[in-house]
Chain A
Amino acid sequence: MLALAALSAGCTAKGGNPAGSEKEKDVLYLFNWNNYLAPDSVRRFETACNCRLSQDYYSDNEEMLAKLAAGASGYDIIVPTGNALDTLLRQGALKPLDKSLLPNLRNINPAYLDTAFDPGNNYSVPYAFTLSLIGFNQEKLKELDLPTDTWALIFEPRYLEKIKGRVTVLDSQRELMAAALKYLGYSVNDASEEHWKQAAALIVRAKPYWAAFSNAGYIKELAKGNLWVAHGYSNDMFQAALDAKKTGRPFTVGYTVPKEGAVLALDSMVLHRSGRRPDLAHQFINFMLDGRNSAELTNLTGSGNPNEDAMRFIEPEIAANKAIFPDAELLGRLEMLRDLDRRQRRLLSRLWTEIKLR
């Protein structure tokens, strides 16, 4: 009986306000990724709205969903990635937007609107994105005469034997499988078990050449020159390139989207059902749709930018980077990950366990 009560408590928990005993009235609660909003933007918004912006952070979508499921509430705005947006929408956890309060929505490049997750953008507004791609030590790879624009670099033993032990790949079932599927010419959302097995075989064949599965450690190692090739996120590669430059390393960190295509992770601003200040929330969304504020985030973190008006505020060398402003041709090769159903998740997990164990 006790056990049953505890079980159901998990599903129906009505948690308190994220900031606990916050008494002020004019506070906007934002549940955001780590380091995903420039401090200057926060200050300017607080002046403009005459309110306070309170942020809580998460480092992946699962963590955010788990915290919401465990009862966290009171957030006005959340910034989920596409597949998590899908989950939140199907859970009925979001409030529709009032587009009349968002005149700056016209700044968004139409290529990022009308996604499969939220056709018509009734619930979500694009914020920023990252691409999953290959980062590399430019000088070293030139010296070894290796191609940098193809997934073959991390999957083909004939290339890998020159860089054995100097390569890491993402420790993520979906991301690594997506890269392998793309290399094999399939969609990142291909859920055929046959294709998954081919991808897993490709991964197992390449695994002995990799140093590790790494989700964050590669940034530092790439910037120090210990790693020569890393499969990772575009904003992290931006960071690694910046670090290498700042510390005066005798090499540069480059990154390109493989020609076979890659994953685009588009983060959107949404209104959570439990939010109490939709007025401030709309004001914030419209504020972030302003080119200057959006550009500030890109200049700080190297995040991809869906805002066409932001271009003129972006530092020139960043604006020229195709991983941050993909052109139409590149956009055609990018795909967003969709959520898997529970049976597919279980199968993928078994395949992943096998990959790790072999």
Chain B
Amino acid sequence: MRAIVAKMLVGGPPLVFLLVFFAAPSMIMVLSSFRFPGEFGGLAPLAAPEGGTGGDYGLTAEAYQFFFSDVIYVEIFLKSFGIAMATTLICLVMAYPLALLIARSEKRFRNLLVLLVVLPFASNFLIRIYAWMIILGPESGFSHFVNAILGVFGIAPVTLLFSPFAVLVGMVYVHLPFMVLPLYTNLEKHDPSLLDAAQDLGATTWQRFWRVTWPLSLPGIFSGSALVFIPVLGMFAVPDILGGTGDILIGNLIKDQFLGTRDWPFGSALSIMLTLAVLSVAGLSTWVARSAMRHGQ
């Protein structure tokens, strides 16, 4: 009996949280994705108004038919997944050495170093993105430097701003701390005596990393990747500000449906498809993580 009460006390709040902030909004989205768009935006009424003359009322799968009627929507999904994947990988490559460095540094410096990682959050996200507009702009020192180097190889001057490159830079910059923190939390807990033991048994530096540290850090890698991958997938501000003429992602498309196009059902349908895609990626990575850890043991 007491065990059940304890379980409810521990599991209850998160469950309520999930119901109120995930399940209920998702249900609203599912419902609105099966309605007709209203003439002025919003949703068309479920039933015809009294004395109404026909028109479109009730439920429909029109939005989903429209989604599958053209290959471009699938293309946008694939492209967004590609960007999210690339951002995650770059973040991992950049964050891992940093997290390792912080975890291995002297204890009294660690908190300060972590503070430095999260310090950028103190200024507004949009301001930081606009700052990249200046850094990548055609007259910036950075642009001149890059073009001077590329000039040696005879590559014509390139513009950095308003390009897929700029979008990737912005995405990586914004999400890097989300990769560093879980990695650090994980790496910090590793028992240093394991590495000593490996050394005593004759392992080289590389072997100690690859056969001890890396497998133990997999949970950190997976949670960091999820924290980067999922928000990148829905991001619209970065491509809006830093992107060029071709940088449209799924987030931009959804935003467009709710503002300019005033097509809530299609926007909801797109966002449902995105949720499904994210859930399946999350499921897949959990499965991979579990089997990897089983393999590691």
Using a CB–CB cutoff of 8 Å, the interface residues on chain A facing chain B are 2-4, 6-7, 10-11, 62-63, 65-66, 69, 87, 90-91, 165, 172-173, 207-208, 210-213, 217, 224, 226, 341-342, 345-346, 348-350, 352-354, 356-358
Query: B257 interface residue, CB < 8 Å from A?
Result: yes
Known: A3-B27, A172-B260, A353-B248. Contact between A212 and B162, CB under 8 A? yes
Task: Give chain B residues whose Cβ lies under 8 Å from the Cβ of A211.
Answer: 159, 162, 244-245
Contact A353 B76 (CB under 8 A): yes
A interface footprint on B1-36 (CB within 8 Å = 1, 0 otherwise): 000000000000000000000001001100110001
Contact A62 B259 (CB under 8 A): yes
Task: Give chain A residues whose Cβ lies under 8 Å from the Cβ of B32.
Answer: 7
Contact B42 A356 (CB under 8 A): no
Known: A10-B42, A172-B260, A207-B245. Contact between A350 and B139, CB under 8 A? no
Contact B72 A357 (CB under 8 A): yes
A interface footprint on B71-105 (CB within 8 Å = 1, 0 otherwise): 01101100100000000000000000000000000
CB distance from A313 to the nearest CB of B (A): 37
Query: B227 interface residue, CB < 8 Å from A?
Result: no
Q: How far apart sit A63 and B41, CA to CA, in the bound complex (Å)?
A: 12
CB distance from B116 to the nearest CB of A (A): 31
CB distance from A351 to the nearest CB of B (A): 10
Using a CB–CB cutoff of 8 Å, the interface residues on chain B facing chain A are 24, 27-28, 31-32, 36-43, 66, 70, 72-73, 75-76, 79, 133, 137-139, 159, 162, 243-248, 252-253, 256-257, 259-263, 266
15 additional contacts, CB 8 Å, given A3-B24, A212-B162? A62-B262, A65-B40, A66-B259, A69-B41, A90-B40, A207-B245, A211-B159, A211-B162, A217-B133, A349-B261, A349-B266, A353-B76, A356-B252, A357-B72, A357-B246
CB distance from A194 to the nearest CB of B (A): 18
10 A–B contact pairs at CB < 8 A? A7-B32, A90-B39, A210-B245, A211-B244, A212-B162, A349-B257, A353-B76, A353-B248, A356-B246, A356-B247
- Which 3 A-B residue pairings sit nearest by Cβ, starting from the closest? A356-B248, A212-B162, A349-B261
Contact A357 B248 (CB under 8 A): yes
Nearest residue, chain B, Cβ from A60? B259
CB distance from B18 to the nearest CB of A (A): 14
CB distance from A23 to the nearest CB of B (A): 33
Known: A211-B159, A354-B72, A356-B248. Contact between A349 and B263, CB under 8 A? yes
Task: Give chain B residues whose Cβ lies under 8 Å from the Cβ of A348.
Answer: 261
Task: Give chain B residues whose Cβ lies under 8 Å from the Cβ of A346.
Answer: 37, 66, 261, 263, 266
Nearest residue, chain A, Cβ from B63? A346
Q: How far apart sit A224 and B161, CA to CA, in the bound complex (Å)?
A: 16
Contact B41 A65 (CB under 8 A): yes
Contact B70 A212 (CB under 8 A): no
CB distance from B39 to the nearest CB of A (A): 6
Q: How far apart sit A65 and B38, CA to CA, in the bound complex (Å)?
A: 13
Task: Give chain A residues whose Cβ lies under 8 Å from the Cβ of B253.
Answer: 353
Nearest residue, chain A, Cβ from B37? A342
CB distance from B256 to the nearest CB of A (A): 6
Nearest residue, chain B, Cβ from A210? B245
Q: How far apart sit A87 and B39, CA to CA, in the bound complex (Å)?
A: 9
Contact B248 A7 (CB under 8 A): no
Contact A7 B43 (CB under 8 A): yes
CB distance from A187 to the nearest CB of B (A): 20
Known: A69-B41, A212-B162, A357-B72. Contact between A349 and B245, CB under 8 A? no
Contact A342 B260 (CB under 8 A): no
